[in-house]
């Protein structure tokens, strides 16, 4: 497990505005420090440009028309610096460092080690990885997979960085192999959004464009920290504010990127003068969002400022919902939300003002709780009351965390795809795909732990660190016969292997892809359903790398040899062939090759945006759920795991979290000063955390307690380190998303 040594924490006052020239300086430090002047500069000039490559970090959309020459943020720059680094992790590196030694390194150290260059194998009993040829690697995978008693003993995991072409081939391979065990990182993030919205409005994706966000009158931002996790969103928020919009931030933590923005490409921002963002900031009680949303809806109903015409024409279930709202007591709504009635009324009346052009954005702060699906359906309810969906300046905006997580799902990476998708696959490829739903992430971990899952194959990602219950998940992976990871960089999942471990190094998104002897490009889909090209431009980190699509094609070809009519190698060598098949299987991708070659790509249709409700009722459904919130026992606090500003998902680029005033340390826990006092804990004193779940205890020791502006009862710390406290079987109703924002803990001084 990662070392527990402290690294000399320095604490300063949190920032009240994000970005500024400091962001430029830090971006340059990372890029020049890792990639050097030439490679770094050419990478930055191609990032997020039409004809360039898509940022491998978050899924924030690029402007349709004018793009700045520097169309990236500080964290986009860190992501590219990490991928384009000149450092290499070669067979010699692995000969020098045993797996046990590497496991004692930090995640930051691993990211700094460099790019993987050769396929590596760790055979049973080995202490060091050793080089293996590609052919041998694919034969080993084929032997193991074909040696299983059932295809359902295999798990095919996908990280949201995989391109559409790789994802489509991957799900096709898994299904022709015979299983739907296709867990993906969406299971841990926006699964709750998809489940909630599909039932309410018939789509699992956001209904707005950048234009809508920038022309909204009111923008509600729930459980999101855009300054770190979607930084270019701040440019659109600034444009909206300059257009007269009122932003309301809702978050237990007062995040700099919600309160102010210093645009680093504008004079004002360069001079350190920030555009104020959130006019109203509601430091909601942790997991108190549902109560707040019910309060907002109650005011609209009581004020009669609802869109009755829209409700009559488009919705179902209003009367039941209305009765429910009227039955709620304000005192209880204030207690559970932690927000005073007067402020709730003010925000509700702001939403009902003007043309009710309201956009609501949200992220993990809503999706990773037991009542997440019910809470997100309250967001939808609010928009149905206002008729704020399917018209300019209004709609729903779940902000995706990984660059192509939405695209992977569109391509069929899902353990329970609908029947029509299977029909299309079977028709197109002439085989019968399995219809029995597969394992999502939680089920896959349980299956591997219980010995029902025997081979784990990961298309990118850092499964061990991204998932909950780290020690349990590690044991699950160790019980496998084989673990395989496609990756660009070394990470902790590569060090916790099955009896045999394989690392298959692939091309990065920024790199030229000349697979099959021709210039290749891949495609991705962003948070606002724009499908566009990503074309690599830099020299590959090693000439032994293969592309993701070719690795999957060769895996499938080796495993399914002699029993598949799918032209795997031809498709692996020419992505146009993959796109031709996608065009015939996935709705709205007709003429895919032609349309995606247009600069900027194309928007996918969104039935909810068109007010065409593909729900069971054929209408937009109000969902009425009882008021709920996680109530703590005596002495407990509610922990949320979160990212620092120097990380993207599980990739750690540095030890600072500058907006929160943290330098040079990751082993911190943010606590309310009164909660610290009540436990006799002084500032920066060493503490141990224990999580409590159904009588089980999990421990995280040696953390420093940092007093922070948080509501009583709430605390926060970084993942992946604190994922060890998140119980695997603690997940959201319906979506089964791990409750990483709702972990019951006790915190005491370390003895």
Site string for ligand SF4, 219-238 (x = CB under 6 A): -----------xxx------
Rounded to a whole number of angstroms, the minimum distance from the CB of residue 61 to ligand SF4 is 8
Using CA atoms, how far apart are residues 174 and 434, in angstroms rounded to an integer?
A: 10
* Smaller CB separation from ligand SF4, 29 or 702: 29
Q: Within a 13 Å sphere around the CA of 654, how many CA atoms are in the beta-carbon half?
A: 21
Whose structure tokens read 């940092």? 706
CB of 60 to ligand SF4, least distance (A): 4
Longest Cα–Cα distance of the chain, Å, equals: 71
- Which residue of 34, 49, 75, 641 would you call a contact of ligand SF4, by CB under 6 A? 75
Shortest distance (Å) from residue 31 CB to ligand SF4: 13
Enter the tokens of residue 125. Answer: 């009993």
- Phi first, then psi, for residue 38 (nearest 5°) are -65, -60
Residue number with CB closer to ligand SF4 (362 or 613) = 362
Name which of 70 and 693 has its Cβ closer to ligand SF4. 70
Structure tokens at 655: 């030890």
What is the contact mask toward ligand SF4 in residues 610 to 629, using x (rule: CB under 6 A)? --------------------
Residue 46 binds ligand SF4 (CB under 6 A): no
Nearest to 227 by CA among 249, 206, 209, 207: 249
Handedness of CA 184, 186, 189, 193 (dihedral sign): negative
Q: Does 73 bind ligand SF4 (CB under 6 A)?
A: yes
The window from 54-62, 127-135, 283-291, 546-554 that contacts ligand SF4 (CB under 6 A) reads 54-62
Cβ proximity to ligand SF4: between 178 and 231 the closer is 231
Nearer to ligand SF4 among residue 15 and residue 554 (C-beta): 15
CB of 12 to ligand SF4, least distance (A): 24
**Which residues share a beta bridge with 686?**
704
Q: Which helix (H) or strand (E) segment is 220 a member of?
A: strand 218-222
Close Cβ partners of 598 (under 8 Å, ≥ 6 residues apart): none
Owner of token pair 């992946």? 720
Assess contact for 215 and 393: CB atoms under 8 A.
yes
Among 55, 417, 482, 538, indicate the residue that binds ligand SF4 (CB under 6 A). Answer: 55
Pick the closest to residue 414 from 725, 145, 187, 148 (CA basis). 187
Q: Let me know if 271 is exposed, middle or buried by CB neighbors in 10 A (0-12, 13-18, 19+).
A: exposed
Segment near ligand SF4 (CB under 6 A), from 73-81, 195-203, 285-293, 566-574? 73-81
Within residues 410-429, the interface with ligand SF4 by CB under 6 A covers: none
Judged by CB under 6 A, the chain residues 372 through 411 that form the site for ligand SF4 are none
Residues within window 522-581 making contact with ligand SF4, judged by CB under 6 A: none
| Paired residues of 341 in beta bridges | none
Whichever of 226 and 572 has its CB closer to ligand SF4, that residue is: 226
Least Å distance, CB 71 to ligand SF4, is 7
The pair of three-digit structure tokens given for residue 36, joined into one six-digit string: 């050097």
Instruction: Note whether 445 binds ligand SF4 by CB under 6 A.
Output: no
User: SS3 for 700?
Assistant: strand
Q: Give the tokens for residue 390.
A: 């399917």
Is the separation of the CB atoms in 503 and 482 below 8 Å?
no
Q: What is the rounded end-to-end Cα distance, in angstroms, of the chain?
A: 21
Going by C-beta distance under 8 Å and a sequence separation of 6 or more, which residues neighbour residue 229?
A: 58, 75, 363, 399, 401, 643
Does position 653 bind ligand SF4 by CB under 6 A?
no
> Closer CB to ligand SF4, residue 73 or residue 442?
73
548: exposed, middle or buried (Cβ count in 10 Å: 0-12, 13-18, 19+):
buried
Segment near ligand SF4 (CB under 6 A), from 69-77, 193-201, 315-323, 571-579? Answer: 69-77
Task: For CA atoms 213, 217, 223, 226, give the dihedral sign.
Answer: positive
* Nearest distance in Å: CB 735, ligand SF4: 24
Residue 72 sits in the site that holds ligand SF4 (CB under 6 A): yes
Least distance CB 547 / ligand SF4 (angstroms) = 21
Residue number of the CB closest to ligand SF4 reads 76
The residue from 17, 26, 58, 256 that contacts ligand SF4 (CB under 6 A) is: 58
Determine the size of the site formed for ligand SF4 (CB under 6 A).
12
Q: Does 76 help bind ligand SF4 (rule: CB under 6 A)?
A: yes
Between 298 and 509, CB nearer to ligand SF4: 509
Q: How far apart are CA 250 and CA 282, in angstroms?
A: 5
Nearer to ligand SF4, 119 or 654 (CB): 654
- One DSSP character per residue, 131-188 reads E--HHHHHHHHHHHHHTSS-GGGEEEEE-TTS-HHHHHHHHHHHHHHT-----BGGGG
**CB of residue 193 vs ligand SF4: minimum separation in angstroms?**
18
Distance (Å, rounded) from C-alpha 240 to C-alpha 238? 5
* Residue 365: strand, helix, or coil: helix
Closest among 581, 586, 618 to 605, alpha carbons compared: 586
Q: Is 262 in the site for ligand SF4 (CB under 6 A)?
A: no
Task: Judge whether 335 and 383 are in contact, CB under 8 Å.
Answer: no
Nearest approach in angstroms of CB 232 to ligand SF4 is 4
Q: Residue 718 forms beta bridges with which residues?
A: 642
Per CB under 6 A, the segment of 51-59, 392-400, 564-572, 733-741 that binds ligand SF4 is 51-59
Contact (Cβ atoms closer than 8 angstroms) between residue 179 and residue 438: yes
Residue closer to ligand SF4, measured from CB, 55 or 639: 55
Which stretch in 71-79, 366-374, 614-622, 726-734 sits in contact with ligand SF4 by CB under 6 A? 71-79
Q: How far apart are CA 295 and CA 326, in angstroms?
A: 10
Closest CB 160 distance from ligand SF4, rounded Å: 12
Does residue 60 touch ligand SF4 according to CB under 6 A?
Answer: yes
Residue 59 vs 116, nearer CB to ligand SF4: 59
Rule CB under 6 A: say whether 310 interacts with ligand SF4. Answer: no
**Residues making contact with ligand SF4 (CB under 6 A):** 48, 55, 57-58, 60, 72-73, 75-76, 230-232
């Amino acid at each position: 497990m990662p070392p527990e040594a402290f690294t000399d924490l320095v604490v300063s006052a949190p920032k009240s505005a994000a970005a500024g020239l400091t962001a430029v300086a830090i971006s340059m430090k990372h890029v020049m420090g890792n990639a050097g002047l030439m490679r770094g500069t050419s990478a930055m000039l191609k990032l997020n440009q039409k004809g360039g490559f898509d940022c491998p970090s978050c899924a924030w959309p690029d402007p349709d028309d004018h793009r700045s020459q520097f169309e990236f943020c500080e964290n986009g720059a860190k992501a590219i610096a990490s991928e384009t680094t000149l450092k290499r992790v070669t067979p010699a590196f692995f000969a020098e460092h045993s797996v046990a030694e590497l496991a004692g390194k930090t995640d930051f150290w691993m990211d700094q080690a460099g790019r993987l260059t050769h396929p590596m194998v760790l055979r049973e009993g080995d202490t060091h990885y050793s080089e293996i040829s590609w052919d041998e690697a694919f034969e080993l995978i084929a032997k193991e997979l074909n040696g299983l008693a059932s295809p359902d003993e295999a798990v095919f995991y996908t990280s949201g960085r995989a391109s559409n072409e790789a994802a489509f081939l991957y799900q096709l391979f898994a299904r022709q192999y015979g299983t739907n065990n296709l867990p993906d990182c969406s299971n841990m993030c926006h699964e709750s959004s998809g489940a909630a919205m599909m039932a309410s409005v018939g789509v699992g994706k956001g209904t707005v464009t950048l234009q809508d966000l920038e022309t909204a009158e009111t923008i509600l931002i729930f459980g999101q920290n855009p300054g770190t996790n979607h930084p270019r969103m701040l440019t659109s928020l600034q444009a909206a504010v300059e257009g007269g919009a009122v932003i309301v931030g809702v978050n237990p933590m007062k995040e700099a990127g919600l309160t102010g923005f210093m645009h680093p490409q504008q004079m004002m921002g360069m001079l350190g003068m920030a555009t104020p963002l959130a006019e109203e900031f509601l430091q909601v009680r942790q997991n108190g969002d549902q109560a707040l949303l019910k309060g907002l809806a109650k005011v609209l109903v009581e004020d009669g400022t609802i869109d009755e015409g829209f409700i009559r024409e488009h919705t179902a279930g209003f009367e039941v919902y209305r009765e429910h709202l009227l039955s709620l007591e304000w005192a209880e709504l204030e207690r559970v939300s932690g927000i005073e009635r007067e402020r709730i009324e003010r925000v509700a009346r702001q939403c009902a003002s003007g043309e009710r052009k309201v956009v609501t954005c949200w992220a993990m702060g809503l999706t990773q709780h037991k009542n997440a699906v019910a809470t997100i359906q309250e967001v939808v309810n609010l928009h149905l009351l206002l008729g704020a969906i399917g018209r300019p300046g209004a709609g729903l905006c779940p902000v995706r965390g990984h660059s192509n997580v939405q695209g992977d799902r569109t391509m069929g990476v899902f353990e329970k795809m609908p029947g029509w998708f299977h029909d299309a696959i079977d028709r197109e490829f002439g085989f019968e795909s399995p219809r029995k739903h597969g394992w999502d992430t939680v089920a896959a971990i349980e299956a591997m732990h219980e010995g029902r899952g025997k081979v784990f194959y990961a298309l990118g990602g850092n499964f061990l660190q991204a998932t909950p219950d780290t020690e349990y998940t590690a044991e699950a992976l160790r019980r496998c016969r084989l673990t395989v990871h496609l990756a660009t960089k070394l990470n902790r999942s590569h060090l916790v292997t099955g009896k045999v471990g394989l690392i298959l190094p692939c091309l990065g998104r920024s790199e030229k892809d000349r697979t099959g002897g021709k210039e290749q490009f891949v495609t991705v889909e962003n948070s606002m359903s724009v499908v566009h090209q990503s074309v690599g431009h830099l020299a590959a980190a090693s000439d032994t790398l293969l592309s993701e699509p070719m690795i999957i094609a060769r895996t499938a070809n080796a495993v399914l040899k002699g029993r598949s009519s799918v032209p795997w190698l031809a498709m692996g060598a020419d992505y146009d062939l993959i796109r031709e098949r996608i065009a015939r299987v996935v709705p709205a991708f007709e003429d895919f090759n032609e349309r995606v070659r247009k600069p900027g790509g194309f928007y996918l249709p969104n039935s909810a945006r068109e007010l065409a409700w593909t729900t069971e009722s054929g209408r937009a459904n109000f969902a009425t759920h009882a008021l709920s919130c996680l109530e703590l026992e005596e002495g407990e606090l509610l922990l949320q795991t979160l990212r620092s500003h120097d990380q993207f998902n599980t990739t750690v680029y540095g030890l600072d979290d500058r907006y929160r005033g943290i330098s040079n340390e990751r082993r911190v826990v943010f606590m309310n000063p009164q909660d610290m006092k009540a436990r006799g804990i002084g500032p920066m004193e060493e503490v141990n955390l224990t999580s409590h779940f159904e009588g089980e205890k999990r421990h995280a020791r040696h953390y420093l307690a940092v007093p922070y502006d948080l509501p009583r009862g709430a605390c926060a710390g970084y993942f992946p380190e604190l994922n060890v406290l998140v119980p695997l079987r603690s997940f959201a109703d319906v979506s089964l998303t791990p409750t990483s924002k709702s972990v019951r803990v006790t915190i005491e001084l370390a003895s």
